[in-house]
Amino acid sequence: MAAVRVERSTRESRWFAAFLVLMLLVLVALPYWGDPGDMRLVAEMAYYLALAQLWNLLAGYAGLVSVGQQAFVGLGAYTLFYLTSQFDMHPLLAVAAAGLFTGVVAPPLALLVFRLRGAYFAVGTWVVAETLALGMSLVEAVGAGSGMSLTPAIMVKIAPDRAGRDLVIYWLALAIAVGICAVVYLMLRSRLGLALTAIRDSEPASESLGVDTFRTKLLVYIVTAACTGVVGALIFLQKLRLSPDSGFSVNDWTVVVIFMVVIGGIGTFEGPFVGMLIYFGLRELLADYGTWYLILLGVVAVAIMLKAQDGIWGLIAKRFDLHLFPVRRRLTR
């Protein structure tokens, strides 16, 4: 009998990992060869990648299709603005505190929205986000409906001059995106990931095999909420201005992210990368056509859901048997 061995990484995946490290080094060095416009674009791509990975973990693996992740983006951002303005906290520390806060708020919210199943869960999470946005517009301490800004006195704590701050925030964006991708990847490769993949493929079957689906989903919901809070704080640390409408925007922080994941390939780790790149590509190409590009994005997402549910990455992976981020083990000779 020929020797059979279990392998996880493939030759392509090892080459790809090396390529990725190289790419990351190039991006880390961007401030020394690119202009501030490039840095802003790459930072934006970084936080959208993080949001897409998180939504994919939630919807693609745990089956929790949330249309309310803007709740945690907004709460994270408000935590940053509140702590830095009222308690003089260092902004970078407040970014971490934002994740802690959204992670703590998540369980009680989960107990509420987990009462709804499937598509009703989706709309339920949306109502929660709307409620938080309306509630926040009544809080005077954070500027009520008109919002608030991060003052220069707060921002100088990061670095004394503008260029230095841009540098720190840019690297922070890269670090957070890489960190969140790593968290999601390691989760998917762990025992929990096995449970999640089982839930993705069939919830009743996974339950019958002893997967505690409620606990698994709750854990994923909380981890995602905490990470989304950090990303939210990061986004508005860069934007400097926050209002209930911008912080809790369903279009900016959820609709766009869902399109990325669906087009790239839901339920795969590579999908969000592909979807993010396609989204930014389309945006650069069609920036002058305003609403037409959102219509086109909608049409593409509908077509993908009907014809190729695994997205662009699913097509590529099937055609070339390519696994750049192997999360499962395979038998080979």
Which position among 294, 308, 315, 322 is part of the footprint of other proteins (CB under 8 A)? Answer: 294
Interaction of residue 314 with other proteins, rule CB under 8 A: no
**In terms of CB distance, is 137 or 149 closer to other proteins?**
137
Q: Which of 21, 119, 141, 153 binds other proteins (CB under 8 A)?
A: 119
Subset of residues 123 to 182 that bind other proteins, contact rule: CB under 8 A: 123-124, 126-128, 130-131, 134-135, 137-138, 145
d(CA 195, CA 128): 28
Rule CB under 8 A: say whether 299 interacts with other proteins: yes
Tell which one of 67, 237, 274, 276 touches other proteins (CB under 8 A): 67
Check residue 286 for interaction with other proteins (CB under 8 A): no
Cβ–Cβ under 8 Å, residues 248 and 73: yes
Q: Which stretch binds other proteins (CB under 8 A): 150-158, 189-197, 215-223, 285-293?
A: 285-293
Stretch that binds other proteins, among 62-70, 91-99, 228-236, 323-331 (CB under 8 A): 62-70
- 315, 314, 286, 316: which is closest to 298 by C-alpha? 286
The answer to whether residue 302 forms part of the interface with other proteins (CB under 8 A) is: yes
Asked if 181 and 21 count as a contact pair (C-beta separation under 8 A), the reply is no
Nearest residue to 40 (alpha-carbon basis) of 29, 32, 31: 31
Angle between helix axes 162-189 and 213-239 (nearest 10 degrees) is 170
User: Which stretch, 7-15, 191-199, 296-304, 321-329, contacts other proteins (CB under 8 A)?
Assistant: 296-304
| Piece of 58-66, 90-98, 153-161, 229-237 that binds other proteins (CB under 8 A) | 58-66
Please identify, using beta-carbon distances, which residue of 18 and 138 lies nearer to other proteins: 138
Compute the distance between CA of residue 22 and CA of residue 16 in angstroms, rounded to an integer: 10
Residues in contact with other proteins, shown as a per-residue x/- string from 223 to 262 under the rule CB under 8 A = ---------------------------x----x--x---x
Strands (E) in the chain, as ranges, are 5-7, 148-149, 241-242, 330-332
User: For other proteins, which residue of 1, 11, 32, 117 counts as binding (CB under 8 A)?
Assistant: 117
Number of residues in contact with other proteins, rule: CB under 8 A?
42
Question: Closer CB to other proteins, residue 4 or residue 146?
Answer: 146
Exactly one of 15, 175, 295, 330 binds other proteins (CB under 8 A); that residue is 295
DSSP string, 238-301: HH-EE-HHHHT-HIIIIIHHHHHHHHH-TTSSSHHHHHHHHHHHHHHHHGGGTHHHHHHHHHHH
Backbone angles phi, psi at 224, to 5 degrees: -60, -40
264 binds other proteins (CB under 8 A): no
Give the helix, strand, coil percentages of the chain, each rounded to 5. Answer: 75, 5, 20
329 backbone dihedrals φ, ψ, rounded to 5°: -95, 150
Best CA proximity match to 164, nearest among 29, 313, 31: 31
- Closest by CA to 148, choosing from 194, 61, 206, 79, is 79
| DSSP-derived 3-state class of residue 316 | helix
Given 305, 318, 330, 332, the residue binding other proteins (CB under 8 A): 305
Q: Which residues of the shown chain bind other proteins in the complex (CB under 8 A)? A: 59, 63, 65, 67, 112, 115-120, 122-124, 126-128, 130-131, 134-135, 137-138, 145, 250, 255, 258, 262, 266, 290-292, 294-295, 297-299, 301-302, 305-306, 309
